Amino acid sequence: MVRITKSIVEKRLGNVPQEKQFWCRDGRILKSLSELETALRDMSDDVFHYHVNESNNDFSNWVRDVFDDEKLLNDLRKSMTKTKAAQSVADRIVWLKSRA
């Protein structure tokens, strides 16, 4: 098991630089995991399925590429509904905050 440092926790809970922000199909621009959780809870099914389908999962890719969070990346890959994906992000945020 990899030890998570306070600096890694802060990076994962903070805002990402502009060039690493996530652009949703509905026009939202996401800067953090917290914003991702909110967006997942609010977005339409059409927008969710644009980003998550059998051949692609843009949210898990963003988490992999920007936050380097393998646990959340795997949880999002398994989440085929926006409710499950939002809960995965929420659970991870709670866990990260407990390590801060």
DSSP string for residues in 14-40: SPPPGGG-EE-TTS-EE-SHHHHHHHH
What's residue 82's pLDDT? 96
Residue 60: which pLDDT band, with cuts at 50, 70 and 90?
A: very high
What's residue 2's pLDDT? 60
Residue 56 lies in a domain: yes
Mean pLDDT across the stretch 55-72? 96
Can you name the residues that pair with 52 across neighbouring β-strands? 57
Query: How far apart (Å, rounded) are the C-alpha atoms in residues 34 and 23?
Result: 15
- pTM summary value: 0.93
Residue 18 lies in a domain: yes
- Please report, rounded to a whole number, the percentage of residues in the chain having pLDDT higher than 90: 89
Q: Which domain holds residue 10?
A: 6-99
Neighbouring CB atoms inside 10 A of 54's CB total 7
